[in-house]
Amino acid sequence: MRVFRTVAEVRSWRRQLAGDLGLVPTMGYLHEGHLSLVRAARAADAHVAVSIFVNPTQFAPGEDLARYPRDEARDLALLEAERVDAVFAPSVAEMYPPGFSTWVEVEGLTARLEGASRPTHFRGVTTVVAKLLDIVQPRRAYFGQKDAQQLAVVRRMVRDLDIDAEIIGLPIVREADGLALSSRNVYLAGDDRRAALVLSRALALARRMSDGGVREAKAIRAEMEALIRAEPRASVDYVSVADPDTLVELETIDRPALVSLAVRIGGTRLIDNTILGAE
């Protein structure tokens, strides 16, 4: 497995490859969710590259950039075991050299949900993903449904900018008790780990209501919020029942619906989602 630190190294490796290349962009501290993307790439593409980059521009001041968990040696061992061909793990200066001043911004979609709470987040995401797609030139790039809005925003960017890569979205990998895997779960100590189950429980409640014939989105949002309010360690950031592509809130569930939520558990902000009517 090759480990590259510079754009120039990746480009010269890429130029001599024959056959499809799959890219899995990550911020490292890898778990089974990331590895599910790597395995999908390994199954579909002749060559697999993984990027590890904790992208500072998608964190706002006061967010967890400085304490975001990192363990590159462990990540590299996991990726080696998955027979990954190349890892791109650049420095911040390599990706954002002095004088950096160009941004890729998707409008509209990014104002909702995560974007409403984190107004500069998606500009950082789309800028770094556009750079990674241009540097690595993959045939396919793999993203998790865990970050449903990110997936929708990246799909829109690739379409709007005619970026020649196929965006593959893959299902959320969960712990046995329902908690969606996340690098940030490491922040959940003691009672917070148990309290974090309110997210998947609220989603399960939405599914039961929908399966039981409830079509009114407002009723589903209200029941989910009530369930979360019953957990004293939790506070709701948003609960949404929206169109999965436009992210516009639905009144009536008469088509597939993205049910998503962001909840603070103590000092940790967690997100989760499910799609109703598509599984």
Please give the residue ranges that form the binding site for ligand AMP (CB under 6 A).
26-27, 33-34, 36-37, 143-144, 146-147, 172-173, 180-183
Cβ pair 239, 180 in contact under 8 A: no
Judging by beta carbons within 10 Å of its beta carbon (0-12, 13-18, 19+), is residue 105 exposed, middle or buried? exposed
Q: Considering the complex, what minimum distance in angstroms separates the CB of residue 197 from ligand AMP? A: 15
Q: What is the rounded distance in angstroms from the CA atom of residue 73 to the CA atom of residue 54?
A: 15
Q: Which residue is nearest to ligand AMP (CB)?
A: 144
Q: β-strand 21-26 against 140-144: which pairing, if any?
A: parallel
**Known catalytic residues?**
34
Closest to ligand AMP by CB, 183 or 268: 183
Closest to ligand AMP by CB, 173 or 247: 173
Q: Considering the complex, what minimum distance in angstroms separates the CB of residue 235 from ligand AMP? A: 22
Q: Considering the complex, what minimum distance in angstroms separates the CB of residue 232 from ligand AMP? A: 26
Closest to ligand AMP by CB, 82 or 225: 82
Q: Considering the complex, what minimum distance in angstroms separates the CB of residue 214 from ligand AMP? A: 27
Closest to ligand AMP by CB, 147 or 231: 147
Find, among 183, 233, 241, 199, the residue nearest to 216 by Cα. Answer: 241
Closest to ligand AMP by CB, 132 or 217: 132
Q: Considering the complex, what minimum distance in angstroms separates the CB of residue 120 from ligand AMP? A: 16
